[in-house]
């Protein structure tokens, strides 16, 4: 019998304790296909709520450490044990589609395929700054970032109607680090955070690491349900609201101007910060760029994150934060305590790359290329998927479509069947804090060309029809 001890006095949530303990057991001790205790039994044994056990089991399943057999329970996955934590298995990244699955058609990855990166131009920029700056390129940079880059970014943002002081601009090592640092500055144990339902998993992880309480609020076709938000705000003091305002991940939603204004008013009225993660506003396929919340921010309520590397070259790890003045001192301290400074060579090379106009050129080319893919995918969805599959919206930019299976269906199951046939995508539970089953799934066209899109949609269409035709039993759902 499994020996597990849970500490009910601990600050760590029970489901997380259980998840970690089980993970250890699985990796270190248990043999493949060992049956885990039934949910009721384990919850009785530990004196905890069955839902807590379900949550821990779901997280293990999400890590591919256990598998579920309909009607008979959960079992240790052979891969988890035989290989320990195998070199070639990085579950978080696989789940997020950031690993190349060579043999599959990859509708999961939101990262452009590597042939789209401007390697030659960037190589030119690196060599230029190495010749120019010599050893200076390799010493510590200031924690706030390389000054000329920050100056250039100030002008660049001005050209997008985002006005700010130079001192408000902080360079960081990618958007994930931006979120992590902001979480460190603003969140203590038990602080409350609101996120969009659904949202980016990495943000949820960063907030969870600060032991924040995360509340998800429904996103509509034009932005958050602000009535639901205000109801929540009336009863709860929150520290921050995390949002992607344009081509939201995963829904593709653009917030309307009205909702943006209303959100800013709520932030003022209820005194919280808005963290705007702008990952894709450059990738619009309509005539005009969408409206960025930070443009409307008169009262320093918005902490604005912009990743330069996301669509450009994600491995660069480069992003910026524009932040309210009152957070500046803590930002400097926290960036320093996090990794001292971002790599100097990267900052210098990217500065030169921007100044030479390479970046604008690159984004403009990519916009055209992705627009083409977007149109093909949109057409394929309409043409090939059965009518029961709903599109949440038809996005006006970005890299993905958010689709919905009929009520009661589970996109994880569809995923399993599709993966067997050589097509992967992102099931909806990856974008929620709860890891409950979801009817939604995200199809991304970042890493597939037009031919692959068509081929992949042929396969997916067949799998969907098969799946919709089958009956769907889930031994876990009664407990949720």
Residue numbers 167-206 binding its own copies by CB under 8 A: 167, 173-174, 176-177, 180, 184, 188-190, 202, 205-206
Q: According to CB under 8 A, which residues from 362 to 421 bind its own copies? A: none
CA distance 441 to 421: 17
Here the contacts of 28-34 (C-beta below 8 Å, separation 24 or greater) are: 30/76, 30/81, 31/76, 31/81, 32/76, 32/77, 32/78, 32/80, 32/81, 32/82, 33/75, 33/76, 33/78, 34/75, 34/76
Candidates 31, 72, 127, 299: give the one binding its own copies (CB under 8 A).
Answer: 127
Nearest Cα to 397, choosing from 267, 467, 479, 292? 292
Q: How many Å apart are CA 289 and CA 248, to the nearest integer? A: 14
Contacts of 419 (CB under 8 A, 6+ apart): 104
| Smaller CB separation from its own copies, 144 or 411 | 144
CB of 275 to its own copies, least distance (A): 15
- For the segment 87-116, give every residue that binds its own copies (CB under 8 A): 87, 90-93, 98-99, 111, 113-116
Coil, strand or helix at 432: coil
Dist. CA 92–CA 110, nearest whole Å: 14
Closer residue to its own copies, CB minimum distance, 161 or 209: 209
Fill in the per-residue mask, 39 to 68: x = in contact with its own copies (CB under 8 A), - = not in contact: ------------------------x-----
The helix (run of H) or strand (run of E) holding residue 416 is helix 411-420
Among 31, 33, 84, 261, binds its own copies (CB under 8 A): 84
Beta partners for residue 404, in sequence order: 390, 440
Alpha-carbon gap, residue 201 to 100, rounded angstroms: 19
Residues 325-364 close enough to bind its own copies by CB under 8 A? 325-326, 328-330, 332-334, 336-346
Q: How far is the CB of 175 from its own copies (least distance, A)?
A: 9
Nearer to its own copies among residue 342 and residue 411 (C-beta) = 342
* In the complex, minimum distance from the CB of residue 358 to its own copies, in angstroms, rounded to a whole number: 14
459 binds its own copies (CB under 8 A): no
- Footprint (CB under 8 A) of its own copies, residues 287-316: 313-316
SS3 assignment, position 238:
strand
Q: Which of residues 8-27 bind its own copies (CB under 8 A)?
A: 10-12, 20, 23-24, 27
| Segment interacting with its own copies (CB under 8 A) among 208-216, 222-230, 288-296, 396-404 | 208-216
């Amino acid at each position: 019998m499994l020996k597990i001890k849970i500490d009910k006095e601990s600050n760590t949530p029970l489901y997380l304790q259980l998840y970690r303990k089980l993970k250890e057991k699985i990796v270190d001790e248990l043999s493949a296909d060992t049956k885990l205790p039934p949910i009721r039994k384990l919850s009785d044994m530990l004196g905890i709520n069955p839902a807590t056990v379900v949550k821990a089991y779901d997280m293990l399943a999400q890590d591919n450490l256990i598998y579920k057999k309909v009607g008979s329970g959960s079992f240790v996955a052979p891969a988890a044990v035989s290989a320990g934590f195998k070199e070639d298995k990085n579950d978080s990244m696989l789940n997020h589609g950031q690993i190349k699955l060579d043999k599959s058609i990859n509708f999961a990855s939101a990262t452009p395929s590597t042939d789209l990166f401007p390697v030659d131009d960037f190589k030119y920029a690196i060599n230029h700054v190495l010749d120019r700056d010599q050893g200076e390129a390799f010493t510590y940079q200031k924690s706030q970032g390389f000054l000329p880059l920050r100056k250039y970014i100030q002008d660049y943002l001005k050209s997008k109607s985002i006005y700010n002081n130079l001192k408000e601009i902080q360079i960081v090592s990618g958007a994930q680090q931006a979120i992590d640092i902001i979480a460190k500055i603003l969140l203590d144990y038990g602080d409350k955070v609101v996120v969009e339902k659904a949202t980016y998993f990495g943000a949820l992880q960063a907030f969870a690491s600060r032991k924040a309480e995360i509340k998800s609020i429904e996103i509509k076709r034009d932005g958050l349900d602000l009535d639901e938000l205000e109801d929540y705000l009336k009863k709860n003091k929150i520290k921050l609201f995390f949002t992607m305002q344009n081509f939201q991940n995963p829904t593709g939603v653009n917030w309307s101007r009205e909702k943006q204004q209303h959100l800013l008013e709520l932030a003022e009225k209820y005194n919280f910060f808005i963290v705007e993660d702008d990952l894709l506003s450059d990738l619009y396929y309509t005539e005009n760029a969408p409206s960025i919340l930070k443009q409307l921010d008169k009262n320093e309520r918005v902490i604005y994150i912009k990743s330069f590397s996301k669509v450009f070259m994600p491995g660069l790890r480069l992003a910026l934060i524009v932040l309210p003045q009152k957070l500046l001192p803590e930002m400097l301290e926290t960036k320093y305590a996090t990794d001292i400074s971002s790599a100097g060579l990267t900052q210098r090379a990217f500065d030169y790359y921007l100044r030479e106009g390479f970046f604008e050129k690159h984004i403009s080319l990519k916009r055209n290329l992705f627009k083409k893919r977007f149109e093909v995918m949109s057409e394929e969805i309409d043409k090939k998927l059965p009518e029961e599959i709903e599109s949440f919206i038809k996005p006006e930019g970005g890299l993905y479509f958010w689709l919905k299976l009929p009520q009661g269906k589970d996109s994880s199951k569809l995923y399993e069947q599709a993966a067997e046939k050589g097509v992967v995508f992102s099931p909806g539970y990856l974008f929620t804090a709860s890891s409950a089953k979801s009817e939604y799934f995200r199809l991304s066209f970042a890493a597939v060309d037009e031919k692959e899109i068509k081929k992949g949609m042929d396969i997916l269409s067949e799998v969907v029809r098969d799946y919709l035709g089958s009956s769907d039993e889930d031994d876990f759902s009664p407990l949720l």
